[in-house]
C-alpha cells in the first residue's frame, strides 16, 4: 500500500497511532511522521565523511532503540533517514550544489565530489544493514499484514 499523504500529519502522533502509518516506497513521508522526524532529523548530516559517519551511527543507534521497543514505525523512519542520507549525498556527489537540473530544466553536467561519494557510501552501508535486518523485515511484514 502507498504512503497516505491525505492524513493530518500536524495532529497525529504515530507512536500512539501506528495503525495510521503506511510504509510506502523509498523515503515517502520521511519529513512528515512525528515524533520520529523530530527525533531523527537533528542527527541527519552528510557534509563530510566524518560527519556522515557520526550521523549514520546516531541514526542506526536510534533504529536499535526503536527495535528494542518493538517500535516498527520508528525503525522504518530510521531506515528512511539512512536511505535519504544516501540519496542526498549521492546527488551532491554527482552535481555541484546538489542541483541536478539548471533553471532552464536542462540536466547539469556531473562533477563527482569524492567527499560526498564517501558520505553516500557510509549511509549506504548502514541503510543496507537496516533494510536487511531480520527483525525489521518481520516487523514490516506484520505491520503491513495488520494495517496495510
pLDDT (tens digit per residue) in 47-86: 999 999 999 999 999 999 999 999 999 999 999 999 999 9
Going by pLDDT thresholds of 50, 70 and 90, the confidence category of residue 1 is low
Q: Is residue 81 part of a domain?
A: yes
Q: What angle, rounded to 10 degrees, do the helices at 114-131 and 49-68 form?
A: 10
Report the C-alpha gap between 43 and 56 in whole angstroms.
8
Q: Is residue 8 part of a domain?
A: no
> How many structural domains are present in the chain?
1
Other residues' Cβ atoms within 10 Å of the Cβ of residue 110: 11
Q: Is residue 10 part of a domain?
A: no
Nine cell digits for residue 18: 501506528
Q: Is residue 90 part of a domain?
A: yes
Q: Is residue 126 part of a domain?
A: yes
* Residue-number span of the structural domain to which 133 is assigned: 29-100+108-147
Q: Is residue 12 part of a domain?
A: no
Q: Is residue 18 part of a domain?
A: no
Nine cell digits for residue 35: 515524533
Amino acid at each position: 500500500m502507498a504512503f497516505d499523504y491525505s492524513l493530518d500529519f500536524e495532529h497525529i502522533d504515530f507512536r500512539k497511532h501506528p495503525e495510521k502509518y503506511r510504509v510506502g516506497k523509498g523515503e515517502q513521508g520521511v519529513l512528515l511522521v512525528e515524533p520520529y522526524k523530530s527525533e531523527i532529523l537533528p542527527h541527519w548530516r552528510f557534509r563530510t565523511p566524518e560527519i556522515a559517519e557520526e550521523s549514520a551511527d546516531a541514526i542506526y543507534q536510534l533504529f536499535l532503540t526503536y527495535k528494542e521497543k518493538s517500535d516498527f514505525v520508528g525503525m522504518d523512519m530510521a531506515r528512511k533517514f539512512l536511505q535519504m542520507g544516501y540519496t542526498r549525498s549521492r546527488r551532491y556527489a554527482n552535481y555541484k550544489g546538489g542541483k541536478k537540473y539548471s533553471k532552464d530544466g536542462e540536466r547539469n553536467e556531473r562533477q563527482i565530489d569524492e567527499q560526498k561519494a564517501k558520505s553516500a557510501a557510509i549511509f549506504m552501508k548502514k541503510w543496507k544493514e537496516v533494510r536487511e535486518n531480520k527483525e525489521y523485515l518481520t516487523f514490516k511484514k506484520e505491520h503491513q499484514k495488520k494495517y496495510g
